[in-house]
Amino acid sequence: MLTDAQCRNAVCPTDRKQARFADSGGMYLQVSPAGSKRWFLKYRIAGTEKQLALGSYPDVSLTAARKARDAAKLERSNGHDPVQVRKVEKLKATRTDGDTFKAIALEWYGKQSPQWSPSHAERSLRQLERDLFPWIGDRAMTDIHAMELLAALQKVEERGAIETADRVLMLARQVWDYWLPTAHVQQRNITEGLKGRLTPYRGKIFAAILDPVRMGGLMRAIKGYKGGPIVRTALQLTPYLYQRPGNLRMMEWAELDLDAALWTIPSMKMKRTKLEKEQGEDHTVPLPTQAVALLRSIHPLTGHGRYVFPGERSHDRPVSDNSVRSALYALGFGKEQSWHGFRASARTMLVDELDIDWQVIEANLAHAKKDANGTSYNRTKYITQRFAMMQTWADYLDKLATGADVIQFKAA
């Protein structure tokens, strides 16, 4: 065993790269020709020899080095590799117990937001800044109690924003999931169980007429709408095509091939994640003859511009989201039938009244569908069947509008 005097006087010959002076238990002092002295512990894990640095002498004395050796050997006897334990401790040291919720949330947001659509990223940041940061933003993650988070969520509920409270809880849950693996102490995700303490949110339910007779009344009202030609045409197209309101009002002439009776919506306009927008296929919508006729009729009015349905104040922007909605209210159907609800109307009646294959309908609705290989958004599948379905649907709506008896039949 070494003495402190031997450690002070240890030197390395100039003709050697290093000299080692053994102590005990696998520990030794390594001396360089330049005079630097460092403690090392040699040990074996699964038959492999490893070395653990214990510090420099004299900053780490002989006694301190032996204590570090004994601690490392205890780790090894408990089945842990001292080198790996050291690495983990260094990684933990990069985080402090004082990390605040705001700091962690912004770090998480910075990593996630590049994968989101701009609108989702903006909304998520706004909800963090408005609904969480004022109440728990400056609090250390380790100190925040579940009741504090619940109180913040209940403030959101108090202003009647039930859906927002549900979304804010989801954001908080993801922030905790992000932080927990690097936390210094074992701690549960405090968001667990809080959903049960909030007012239940069941998602948006868009008003939709599902009764054929009532739908016939709506179609007659739509055909008799006396508003401006742009909104009138958009309103008349809506039940025939039953696409998302945002896609219809932002329809561009460049997306239409009226000779082929086809509307191609670019992937970047679809309701998808940022990655799916960038890598997904365009969504094709077959146009029934009624839709082609309506589009040809409005072409002399708006065909010189970008949008099929330009806004009144600026032709560089599409009509507002309230255009068709307001028209439905003007017709007396606003509470029964929402703009988005035409998708539910078509989805239900195409199955119940016309016995159309649900897979064909889902493809036309542009709903995500995972196949066995994990491929999403197959937009070209069932295109032939969808052409037949769209014409069948448009003819069915016209028959409902006349009040004629409609016999159920399958699309060809």
Q: Name the residue with tokens 């309230």.
A: 322
With bands split at pLDDT 50, 70 and 90, how would you rate the model's confidence at 378? very low
The answer to whether residue 279 scores a pLDDT higher than 70 is no
The answer to whether residue 371 scores a pLDDT higher than 80 is no
The answer to whether residue 23 scores a pLDDT higher than 90 is yes
User: What angle separates helix 383-402 from helix 358-365, to the nearest 10 degrees?
Assistant: 90
Residue 160 to residues 299, 301, 305, 396: CA-CA distances in angstroms?
Answer: 44, 43, 41, 41
Summarised one tens digit per residue, pLDDT across range 300-317 is 999 999 999 998 877 788
From CA 64, how far away is CA 73, in angstroms rounded? 14
**Which range, 111-120, 166-175, 380-389, is most confident?**
166-175
- Complete DSSP assignment for 201-235: -----------HHHHHHHHHHHHT--S-HHHHHHH
Q: Find, among 152, 166, 168, the residue nearest to 105 by Cα.
A: 168
Q: Name the residue with tokens 């989702």.
A: 120
With bands split at pLDDT 50, 70 and 90, how would you rate the model's confidence at 411? very low
pLDDT at residue number 240 = 96
pLDDT at residue number 183 = 77
pLDDT at residue number 406 = 52
From CA 202, how far away is CA 371, in angstroms rounded? 27
The answer to whether residue 372 scores a pLDDT higher than 50 is no
Q: How many residues does the chain have?
A: 412
* Mean pLDDT value across residues 87-96: 61
Residue 140 DSSP label: B
Structure tokens at 408: 């159920």
Summarised one tens digit per residue, pLDDT across range 96-151 is 546 899 999 999 999 998 888 777 889 999 999 999 999 999 999 989 999 999 99
Mean pLDDT, the chain, rounded, equals 87
Phi, psi at 38, each rounded to 5°? -135, 140
For residue 183, the Cα-to-chain-centroid distance in whole angstroms is 24
The answer to whether residue 330 scores a pLDDT higher than 90 is yes
pLDDT at residue number 187 = 79
Which of 57-71, 184-198, 292-306 shows the lowest mean pLDDT across its residues?
A: 184-198
From CA 309, how far away is CA 292, in angstroms rounded? 15
Phi, psi at 151, each rounded to 5°? -60, -40
Protein fold of 212-402: hpI Integrase; Chain A (1.10.443)
Asked if residue 114 has a cis previous peptide bond (ω within 30° of 0), the answer is no
The answer to whether residue 409 scores a pLDDT higher than 70 is no
Mention every residue, 6+ apart, whose C-beta is less than 8 A from residue 129: none
Q: How far apart are the first and last CA of the chain?
A: 95
Q: Is 82 exposed, middle or buried (0-12, 13-18, 19+ CB in 10 A)?
A: buried
The answer to whether residue 37 scores a pLDDT higher than 90 is yes
Residue 137 to residues 133, 163, 165, 166: CA-CA distances in angstroms?
Answer: 4, 21, 17, 19
Q: Is the model more confident about 403 or about 172? A: 172
The torsion angle over the Cα atoms of residues 347, 351, 357 and 362, rounded to 10 degrees, is 10
Domain boundaries, the chain: 4-93, 101-197, 212-402
The answer to whether residue 374 scores a pLDDT higher than 70 is no
Domain 101-197, CATH: 1.10.150.130
The answer to whether residue 376 scores a pLDDT higher than 50 is no
CATH class for domain 4-93? alpha beta
The answer to whether residue 77 scores a pLDDT higher than 90 is no
From CA 81, how far away is CA 72, in angstroms rounded? 8
The answer to whether residue 61 scores a pLDDT higher than 90 is yes
Q: Is the model more confident about 372 or about 199? A: 199
* Mean pLDDT value across residues 59-73: 93
Q: Is the model more confident about 161 or about 138? A: 138
pLDDT at residue number 315 = 76
